[in-house]
Amino acid sequence: MAAAAVLSPPRKNPPMTSAGAFDLTVPEYRPAEIKTYHKATYPRLAPEKSGFKGEGKTVLVTAGATGIGYSIAESFAKAGIAHLVIIQRRQEVLDEAKAALSKGYPKLKITTYAASVTDYPRVSEILKEVGQIDVLVPNAAAAHPMAPTKDLSTAHMDNVFATNVTSPHYMISEFLKLPHTGPKTVIYVSSAAAQLSMATNSIYGASKAAANALITQFARDAAESDVVVQTYHPGAIATPLSKAAGIPDGLLEFEDVRLPGDFAVWLASPEAVFLSGRFVWAQWDVDDILKLKARVEKDDYFLTQSIVV
């Protein structure tokens, strides 16, 4: 039996760096064609050079006012989009994000909604109110305290799966039903936790694995259309979510938050269309990723959560 997923068979934990942090940069955690691992953004990923054409486009990012979501929102702003829509629960952080983005990108139309992504009637209202959306980025996520699986409750399970699985399923489904002219792109922000056996992080990892499987099926259902459905690991990024989960200092060597933002724009470009339904990491060099195209086109299960028997 050979695993078709990105990573080697799960370890008890990832290997450690000399500084005592989990080391996700080792070659065994990526396909052989990926020679370079980036911890920060680089010129090849510059949004204005990505090949993504932002003119006239609308991009919606959930949890786009802070952390990784804000980085994604700003990178699309750099790519010259016309309209940015952000959904986040707290009005104060929405106001702060809108002020900062308006200052940096005065021509950009910015619309914000204070709402929960698990308030499904409200999500439907927002999508219909916005109208045509070109790129949907389900980025909102929930985590749980770092604890052994037996010590995590059904309440933790319900909260994490509602936000990380059910909510993106609902939002993507509603998005795909909306009238639209031209291509549609979905970019789901997943996690390496989907394919790593990391002690104390089991429910979160299971939720991301489930969401990756959903993304693959969304992509396959849309294979004969102009819909592209992407999913990726954004990296080890210090965010409010990682802090709330109680990740200990030194457990991870945090990476540049601009990297997942710029990578998301590249995923929305024509160059990355072949990755629809596959799972990749923002840290993998994009020119190395392009070398995977032949394998992707040959193997329906490569870079997915599936297992080949």
The answer to whether 188 is a known catalytic residue is no
The answer to whether 204 is a known catalytic residue is yes
**Annotated active-site residue in 208, 232, 269, 276:** 208
Per-residue DSSP letters for 51-68? S---TT-EEEEETTTSHH
Structure tokens at 151: 């010590």
Tell me if 282 sits within 8 A of 232, measured CB to CB: yes
Tell me if 270 sits within 8 A of 293, measured CB to CB: no
Structure tokens at 36: 């370079």
**Annotated active-site residue in 190, 191, 202, 276:** 190
The answer to whether 208 is a known catalytic residue is yes
CA distance 218 to 226: 12
**Annotated active-site residue in 204, 207, 269, 276:** 204
Tell me if 115 sits within 8 A of 89, measured CB to CB: yes
Per-residue DSSP letters for 65-127? TSHHHHHHHHHHHHTT-SEEEEEES-HHHHHHHHHHHHHH-TT-EEEEEE--TT-HHHHHHHH
Residues carrying an active site annotation: 190, 204, 208
